[in-house]
Amino acid sequence: MTEAPSPADFIRDIIASDLENRVNNGRLQTRFPPEPNGYLHIGHAKSICLNFGVAAENPDGKCNLRFDDTNPEKEDVEYVDSIQEDVRWLGFDWEERKFYASDYFEPLYGYAEELILKGKAYVCDLSASEMREYRGTLTEPGRASPYQNRSVEENLDLFRRMRAGEFPDGSRVLRARIDMASPNMNMRDPALYRIRRVEHHRTGNAWLIYPTYDYAHGISDALECVTHSLCTLEFEDHRPLYDWILDQLDLPCRPRQIEFSRLSLEYTVMSKRKLNALVQSGRVSGWDDPRMPTISGLRRRGYTPESIREFCRCIGISKSPNRVEHALLENCLRSDLEARAPRTMAVLRPLKVVIDSLPEGYEESLTVPVHPQNEAMGKRTIHFTREIFIEQEDFRESAPKQYKRLVTGGEVRLRNAYVIRCREVIKDDDGAILEIRCEHDPATLNANPVGRKVGGVIHWVSATRCVTGQVRLYAPLFIVTEPDALKGDIVEHVNPDSIEILTGCRFEPALAEMTDSLSYQFERLGYFHRDRDSITGHPVFNRAVSLRDAWSKIAQSL
């Protein structure tokens, strides 16, 4: 897949202009800063594509991976591992630049003492709830903490004792001294450090006090000499604080924060809290459940890195609120796989067909293309036999004239093989169809029948030369376009029909040999991805996305 260049957007415009004006001596440094408290989702992919993408587009641009691990209560190595795997899988490389905010705990502490020395920070003994009261509201200014005017010496002493573990958790915080009357809540003396006796996944028990995001992020950016710190819109109100902190300190570099709107996608949720709730509740099988919007879920579902990158390119970068249609994501996968997925035939819901015009035990090997539009992908062998399976929905005893598949007495083309005509329908005592009896037209292999037109083509698999396995079909996790607006526990709103497991599906034997690919087009059905639950002789496939289906629209209007 040839990748189209990302179109310009307001952030790329700013960067191009900064580069041209040599704002950072012509340097470009970005960073992708996930908190390791959950798995990455497609919203993160947008940020990854932006940060790594913009760096790759410029000659000396670099993008760091930085784990924003300042809150040990929620973080875990499981997440740092999965995040790295996902970023790599998406096709991006941080080279030797993998960092952790926890790498900076010592310098961060030093800068905090510097703030104290400058009279810009103080130790506050207010409890969390008292602090909330003192903060005021959106429309009323806050009041100064009674501890706001402690001496530098006392603050320094107290802060050092906070570090030394002399005070209980939550009893004191270090706060910035800014403006309790600011209309921006973030500027009302925000907390910089809190006491938490929690083991950190990297620093262990070395620290009892941990910096807050607002304090650590800008300094981390500056220490890494990040030039453009790209984040989502909800941090817009934090920018004055980000700048304030950088302004007080003597740092090697001066990064600039720029915000863009986060991604929302129809029929799913994106918050890690809600995704975690889905996992914990058991409503999905895990973070990589193919219905999840996580990178690992999409990967298991059958999405390719190329398709996700293309999606991120298509949605663009802006500041407007958005909710992207699911159809766009699907389109990106289809267009990627259309070009390169090997074709095969599979029957999901088998209906037996006996071709009476063929002798018992008849078998004919047919050599057919792996991809009809791409000869270079080679050939595969399929087996035409007296007994075959077709899709149950490809046969009807009677049907409207728009129905182009097999009907009693009618003809249809078996894809890659012959035209057959249905002679008889065999039913059980309850009237359920057991099998159908057909005859084939031997003159129709690679040739059109003479004197009549056969409009329909259906797929099939030999009943005697096939492998049996499982297919999982998926529907959206939620049936409403905006599940975030749903009341109550999100877990209760999961679409019970979001997964359908089909057993007894039949596949071409050649499928077992085509091991160089994990993604296939099952002709007329969609793109399917071999799941890791497959075992030898019993494949399991997930349907990543169906093919566009004009018939379903016609059928609905009938």
Partner RNA sequence: UGGGCCGUCGCCAAGCGGUAAGGCCCCGGAUUUUGAUUCCGGUAUACCCAGGUUCGAAUCCUGGCGGCCCAGCCA
Strands 121-124, 526-530: parallel, antiparallel or unpaired by DSSP? unpaired
Cβ proximity to RNA, 94 vs 403, nearer residue: 403
323 part of the interface to RNA, by CB under 7 A:
yes
Query: Is there a catalytic annotation at residue 262?
Result: yes
Nearest CB to RNA, comparing residues 212 and 285: 212
Smallest gap from Cβ 537 to RNA, in A, equals 26
For residue 466, give the nearest of 382, 523, 525 by alpha carbon: 382
Pick from 238, 291, 300, 506: which binds RNA (CB under 7 A)?
238
- 315 near RNA, rule: CB under 7 A: yes
425 contacts 396 by C-beta, under 8 angstroms: no
Lateral strand order in the sheet of 98-100? 29-32, 62-67, 98-100
Token pair recorded at residue 48 = 């990854």
Tokens read off for 200: 């950190």
* CB of 327 or CB of 501, closer to RNA: 327
Cα separation, 380 vs 419, in Å, equals 20
CB atoms within 10 A of CB 73: 10
Close Cβ partners of 377 (under 8 Å, ≥ 6 residues apart): 342, 369, 370, 371
Strand extents, DSSP E, 392-463: 395-396, 406-407, 411-414, 419-427, 433-441, 457-458, 460-462
Contact (CB, 8 A) for 193 and 112: yes
Smallest distance from the beta carbon of 25 to RNA, in angstroms?
25
Out of 27, 35, 239, 508, which one is annotated catalytic?
A: 35
Convert residues 199-218 into a mask of x (bound to RNA by CB under 7 A) and - (unbound): -----------x-xxx--x-
Instruction: Return the number of the residue (456 or 509) whose C-beta is nearest RNA.
Output: 456
Sole residue written with tokens 């599940």: 483
Active-site residue identified among 150, 172, 272, 334: 272
d(CA 295, CA 293): 7
1 binds RNA (CB under 7 A): no
Cβ neighbour number for residue 95 with a 10 Å cutoff: 9
Verify whether residue 62 is a known catalytic residue.
Answer: no
**Residue 261 interacts with RNA (CB under 7 A): yes or no:** yes
Among 17, 149, 151, 184, binds RNA (CB under 7 A): 184
Q: Which of 23, 456, 493, 499 binds RNA (CB under 7 A)?
A: 456
The one catalytic residue in 97, 196, 254, 262 is: 262
Binder to RNA among 119, 146, 170, 409 (CB under 7 A)? Answer: 170
Count residues binding RNA (CB under 7 A). 92
Instruction: Find the part of the chain contacting RNA (CB under 7 A) among 90-98, 276-284, 402-410, 537-545.
Output: 402-410
Q: Which helix (H) or strand (E) holds 129?
A: helix 128-135
* Strands 256-260 and 228-232, bridge-based pairing: parallel
| Nearest partner of 90 among 62, 57, 65, judged by Cα | 65
| 317 near RNA (CB under 7 A) | yes
Are the C-beta atoms of 547 and 524 separated by less than 8 Å? yes
Kindly tell me which residue out of 117, 447, 480, 486 binds RNA, with binding defined by CB under 7 A.
Answer: 447
Residue 326 or 499: the one with the smaller Cβ distance to RNA is: 326
Q: Which of residues 24-83 bind RNA (CB under 7 A)?
A: 33, 35, 68, 70-71, 74
Q: Does 195 bind RNA (CB under 7 A)?
A: yes
Work out which of 413, 465, 472, 543 binds RNA, going by CB under 7 A: 413
* Residue 183 φ/ψ region, left for φ over 0, alpha for ψ in the -120 to 50 degree band, beta for the rest: alpha
Judge contact between 202 and 79, C-beta under 8 A. no
Taking the C-alpha atoms of residue 429 and residue 104, their distance in angstroms, rounded to an integer, is 77
Task: Identify which range of 5-13, 14-22, 382-390, 465-473 contacts RNA by CB under 7 A.
Answer: 5-13
Nearest distance from C-beta of residue 227 to RNA, angstroms: 20
**Judged by CB under 7 A, does residue 2 bind RNA?**
no
User: Taking contact as CB under 7 A, which single stretch among the options 276-284, 296-304, 335-343, 351-359 is the one that binds RNA?
Assistant: 335-343
Alpha-carbon span 337 to 377, nearest angstrom: 13
The yes or no reply on residue 300 touching RNA (CB under 7 A) is no
The answer to whether the CB of 394 falls within 8 A of the CB of 388 is no
Least distance to RNA from the beta carbon of 464, Å? 21
Q: Which residues, numbered 268-297, are part of the site for RNA (CB under 7 A)?
A: none
Strand pairing category for 209-211 and 191-195: antiparallel
Q: What is the DSSP letter of 31?
A: E
Residues of span 114-143 touching RNA by CB under 7 A? 126-128, 131-132, 135, 137-139
Binding track, positions 467-486, relative to RNA; x by CB under 7 A: --------------------
Active-site residue, 78 included = no
Q: Within 509-538, which residues bind RNA (CB under 7 A)?
A: 521, 523-524
Which residues belong to the active site?
Answer: 35, 262, 272
